[in-house]
Structure 1
């Protein structure tokens, strides 16, 4: 049962959204900043290329566990309160990483940074606690655009500073400085949400969910390295399935569940969550694949363009900027067309882009066109999917609903990373260093099929009549 803590007051949309945009810009900045520094961190700590992959993996595992828990606690105790805790954790992790004398403490810092992924769900919940309708959609669009641009700025600045400054400690302190400013903002300038759900905490449900996410994500991580035939991978996947079944049985029986599965399975929401999972598969599962394809030497591999990292970064930057444009534009398109139509447009753009890549991978203008179309489609989906979920969820479950969206994207990316890796391996000749072009084409065809499934399930999604005129609530 929800509870409203304050009487309705009129507030300007900018009061709620303005500073949150900086917070999400910081989130993107942190996500992008470390990536070009991973090799330097490995050299500084004297660890192997295989070991340094845990720098990314452990943060992803921690994010998978912390997002649904902190999002639900935000619904119970206040979204600003949980956002403060999440930012403080990421700040502490950044400081630890900067001053860590060894690899173990560096990994501890990355685990502490897991709550970075819950910032967006909590921010969307804060927006929806005070703003509704078209203004709320614009706010979400601003957040997603800020996230995308922040990641782009972080990636560029991380690479530049990592090259220009000899002290890696100084370079790694930059995120801590930005996060300190972010902490000041969230402690002084952002209002708290006004609606609370039942204060009862489903400890058993959260524990089962956390163990399931750990087992599944770790199992899929292992599958990328050793394939699905590994005994450890099979064991972890079986354990995760058992935990998932136990979680579902428990959640359907408990009076106040950690996640309301009946809400998730409602006709209004389940197609959106299926689309979110598919979106995560393609968005995260193809990131490294695109890079290796563009970098491949056409004379040696028979495909690719032999681009150097600088040229590839232009492709990445262009896609990111178009994604920001799509996220910014989605509320303006949703007003005359409807938000469901915008999501269908985003899925359609993704289908077209992957068809073009599968058929025209050897023609550079077609590849560039596919990247542009795909970037716009990604932006529309990045903005519209969480916005619609927040609108359809009850006001006291906005945090956990958008948290589930984030978790499904993460799971989708992990599943795709393992499956796409197996596909590329199947098309790699014995002793060859690179996969055959058939592997890439197969992956793009799979992406087309996944988005076609998403398009079809969206057709049965039932959205309540929209009212974009209700813009300001409490």
Structure 2
């Protein structure tokens, strides 16, 4: 039953705070990794697993918890996910043992399923343009929270007498989110009447873990390293067997036919391409900006502050784009917004090719990129929620999130290989040709994204989408 008026705004407001807390938590830890490594007495190489473990845990739990939300209730699973994150952040802050901290990071993994479950709650209770606006605000506060968390980490660490106290900051926001979800957010009404495909979910977990670890290894050891080939080979074999199983299952974990259908397939392909650039290109941005012209022959000798300014500018503009997409969709249609986002993203990445010689030119390209990313950040999950069957919104958006993560890992490995292939003999840096290849790849990824989105259904009515999606599922 849709909620109207003040109650709807109140519910969305509480969910928006949850996404602010989610973004804050995600943005808070990376700037503190060096200090935390010293606190725990581990090496720089060891501390990289602090983020990797959470990514792997998210890859496993997002599809499962999203589907369980469709079956047992999205608020119920959101409560479980929030309690898990709360315990994980407490362990991270209070237990000075790295193995135990890594176990806590596993418990933080369900942070990635908050947004899919919240989108399902919104779309189950609010219809039409209001649902689009609500989803836009969720994404806006997620990215805004990440920015806030990044700056807060630096500010709190300066005034905090102890790293343990500093690390308690995310706990406060997660605790308030738990109160909101336990006492202020109503349960969704739609349910998927089905049994749980345990083998299907196990297949997803094995595939994602093998693929992500394999791609991480490819970024350091190379794609042809025996360990990389074994892991990626396992991922390919498991994925193939999983697809066969899902196609034959009466109640699959993921409806493969729907995923590759013209109705939602273009969104999933766009999500993969988007994730490759949005999450995979951050390291090349940093290394290029920090390169020294007198040594490498390119770059701006940028300090960490300048690099943060550029990356932060992209993120801030992405936040703006996510905030305004629903207003644009109401005037020009959400399909046009999606296509515009893909075009701006492609143009922004291709602009780096002629403008990379000056920092001002690079910033111009970053502005265009950020606006394009923001339109896609907001419009892709919103349109997916409209087109997916009403009783499968959770798993639909969960798969979307997983594909973005997988795309980022894939691109990270590809970009590392590109820079490795362009390594200047006798040095530790790559030639400018490696970066040109990366920028070309990123622009081409958004061209593919644009072409995929051309195949989306032309109907732009947010009110009609759930009915057409339900009809298509039968």
TM-score interval, normalised by the smaller of the two chains = over 0.9
Instruction: Confirm or deny that 1:284 pairs with 2:283.
Output: no
Q: 1:48 to 1:143 in 2, by over 3 A?
A: same
Give yes or no for contact 2:28–2:150 (8 Å, CA) kept in 1: yes
Q: Output aligned runs, 1:328-407, within 5 Å.
A: 328-407=323-402
Q: 1:128 to 1:467 in 2, by over 3 A?
A: closer
Distance 2:460 2:9 in 1: 26
Q: CA deviation at 1:434?
A: 2.1
| Residue equivalent to 1:441 | 436
Q: RCO (CA 8 Å, sep 6+): is it higher in 1 or 2?
A: 1
| Residue equivalent to 1:260 | 255
Q: Output aligned runs, 1:403-442, within 5 Å.
A: 403-442=398-437
2:171 paired residue among 167, 176, 189:
176
Distance 2:275 2:457 in 1: 22
Distance 2:403 2:412 in 1: 14
Q: Output aligned runs, 1:252-331, within 5 Å.
A: 252-331=247-326
Distance 1:465 1:373 in 2: 25
Structure 1, unpaired ranges of 5+: 1-6
Distance 2:101 2:427 in 1: 35
Q: CA deviation at 1:468?
A: 4.8
Give yes or no for contact 2:387–2:465 (8 Å, CA) kept in 1: no
Give yes or no for contact 2:317–2:374 (8 Å, CA) kept in 1: yes
Of stretches 433-442 and 212-221 in structure 1, the one that deviates more from structure 2 is: 433-442
Secondary structure in 1 aligned to 2:278? helix
1:41 paired residue among 31, 36, 41:
36
Give yes or no for contact 1:335–1:468 (8 Å, CA) kept in 2: no
Instruction: Confirm or deny that 1:100 pairs with 2:92.
Output: no
Q: Deviations for 1:6-58, whole angstroms, at most 9, x for unmatched residues?
A: x5664543033111000000000000000100011111112111111111111
Give yes or no for contact 2:127–2:462 (8 Å, CA) kept in 1: no
1:151 paired residue among 138, 146, 152:
146
Of stretches 293-302 and 145-154 in structure 1, the one that deviates more from structure 2 is: 293-302
Q: How many pairs were matched up?
A: 465
Q: Deviations for 1:278-330, whole angstroms, at most 9, x for unmatched residues?
A: 00000011011111111112221111111111122222222221111100110
Q: Deviations for 1:244-285, whole angstroms, at most 9, x for unmatched residues?
A: 011111111111110111111111111111000000000011
Distance 1:257 1:469 in 2: 26
Give yes or no for contact 2:69–2:76 (8 Å, CA) kept in 1: yes
Distance 2:206 2:402 in 1: 14
Of stretches 261-270 and 384-393 in structure 1, the one that deviates more from structure 2 is: 261-270
Distance 1:26 1:8 in 2: 26
| Residue equivalent to 2:52 | 57
Secondary structure in 1 aligned to 2:430? coil
Distance 2:80 2:134 in 1: 22
Secondary structure in 2 aligned to 1:461? coil
Distance 1:465 1:378 in 2: 20
Distance 1:463 1:80 in 2: 32
Instruction: Confirm or deny that 1:66 pairs with 2:22.
Output: no
Q: 1:343 to 1:465 in 2, by over 3 A?
A: closer
| Residue equivalent to 1:194 | 189
Distance 1:242 1:201 in 2: 23
Q: 1:292 to 1:139 in 2, by over 3 A?
A: same
Give yes or no for contact 1:13–1:135 (8 Å, CA) kept in 2: no
Q: Output aligned runs, 1:105-184, within 5 Å.
A: 105-184=100-179
Q: TM-score, normalized by length of structure 2? A: 0.95
Q: 1:138 to 1:299 in 2, by over 3 A?
A: same
